[in-house]
Amino acid sequence: MFVIFGATGHAGRLTAIRLREAGLPVRAVVRRADQAKEFTALGCEIAFADLADLTSVAKAIEGAQAVQMICPVPSGHADPEYAMRTMIDVAVQALRANPPPHVLAISDYGAELDMNTGITGLFHYLEQQFCVSLPRLTLLRSAEHMHNWRRVIPVALATGVLPSLHHPVTRRFPAVAAQDVGALSAALLQEGPPVGATRIVSIESTTRISPADVARVLQQETGREIVAREVPRDQWSAVLTRAGLSGKHAQLIMDLYDAQNAGHIDFEAGVTAHRFGTTALADVLAPLVRHAAPHAQ
């Protein structure tokens, strides 16, 4: 049984689909009954679990041949760092008590860094905890998801300006489509556990992108003039809190982009296997534009 946490996300959903296409048994872990229908239709077994609840996580992994673990940053929480660390600790406790033959944990570019990297620092904590607790472990480090631009696409469509915390807007950085992460995860799970040391695999798109590239694609999709513009550093906090984020969440994001803009977060050469997703930026952004366009009028 392949147990997929985060099955309702872009990456987790694709992992479940690919494993089912291969005829493999999948247990999709969801939080609510209304999320189960699509996975039942795929032929998945359903488990209900809250990553902050040890009992439900332990029950979800019973009988697992392999477990894909995704610990998402809880965006609606007043203190997302505390909440995510709690989820990581719960996951480790459950997996250590009943270790499956293989655990694959979704991590982040830059997770190897022992420094203040904001959100990426939470994945550093995840890797530390998993590595000392689980002997048959694959860490799949993902570059920044292209889907993250969905948050500011409505602003770009309404104003013609794509706001960016990436500085400068012409600098290209590693990014990847979430579905490529899910597809690679499914392939690695089918390969089985590593022999010996923890296996670390990183994935990004074949082409690195810049905010200017994102604006160019949005312009092509809409026929409107759209330009990328840096949000001044001293305005970041106000912009993020106006968007509904807590002060602590905003700080995690600011620390992350400070580290990115300083060039600290990238592929860790010489340590990880480097894989590449094939989904183009335009293929990710086009449906996001179609969804956002009616709301940007």
Average pLDDT value for residue range 46-65: 97
Bridge-based pairing of strands 161-164 and 26-30 is unpaired
Angle, CA of 78, 143 and 64, to the nearest 5°? 75
119-132 b/e (C-beta count within 10 Å ≥ 16 → b): bbbbbbbbbebbee
Average pLDDT value for residue range 50-73: 96
Q: Does residue 180 lie in a domain region?
A: yes
> Is it true that the peptide bond before 168 is cis, omega within 30 degrees of 0?
yes
Domain that holds residue 88: 2-145+176-204+264-278
Q: Is the pLDDT of residue 162 over 80?
A: yes
The torsion region of residue 63 among left (phi > 0), alpha (psi -120 to 50) and beta comes to: left
Percent with pLDDT over 90 in the chain:
93
Contact 62, 90 (CB under 8 A): no
SS3 content of the chain, % helix, strand, coil (to 5): 45, 20, 35
Q: Does residue 132 lie in a domain region?
A: yes
CATH of the domain at 103: 3.40.50.720
- Residue 76 has what pLDDT? 83
Q: Does residue 218 lie in a domain region?
A: no
Q: Does residue 252 lie in a domain region?
A: no
Question: Tens of pLDDT along 75-132?
Answer: 888 999 999 999 999 999 999 999 999 999 999 999 999 999 999 999 999 999 999 9
Residues 53, 49: Cα–Cα separation, whole Å: 7
Residues 41, 80: Cα–Cα separation, whole Å: 33
Q: Does residue 165 lie in a domain region?
A: no
Alpha carbons within 13 A on the beta-carbon side of 39 = 30
Contact 17, 38 (CB under 8 A): no
- Residue 292 has what pLDDT? 86
Average pLDDT value for residue range 286-292: 92
Q: Is the pLDDT of residue 248 over 60?
A: yes
- Residue 294 has what pLDDT? 59
The torsion region of residue 23 among left (phi > 0), alpha (psi -120 to 50) and beta comes to: left
Q: Does residue 291 lie in a domain region?
A: no
Q: Does residue 251 lie in a domain region?
A: no
Domain count of the fold of the chain: 1
For the chain, the average pLDDT equals: 95
Give kind and range of the element (H or E) at residue 225.
none
Contacts within 8 Å (CB) and 24+ apart, 71-75: 71/5, 71/105, 71/106, 71/126, 72/6, 72/9, 73/119, 73/122, 73/249, 73/252, 75/245, 75/249
Nearest to 108 by CA among 75, 71, 134, 81: 71
Residues 17, 8: Cα–Cα separation, whole Å: 11
Q: Does residue 156 lie in a domain region?
A: no
Residues 89, 257: Cα–Cα separation, whole Å: 26
Residues 210, 65: Cα–Cα separation, whole Å: 40
Average pLDDT value for residue range 236-253: 95
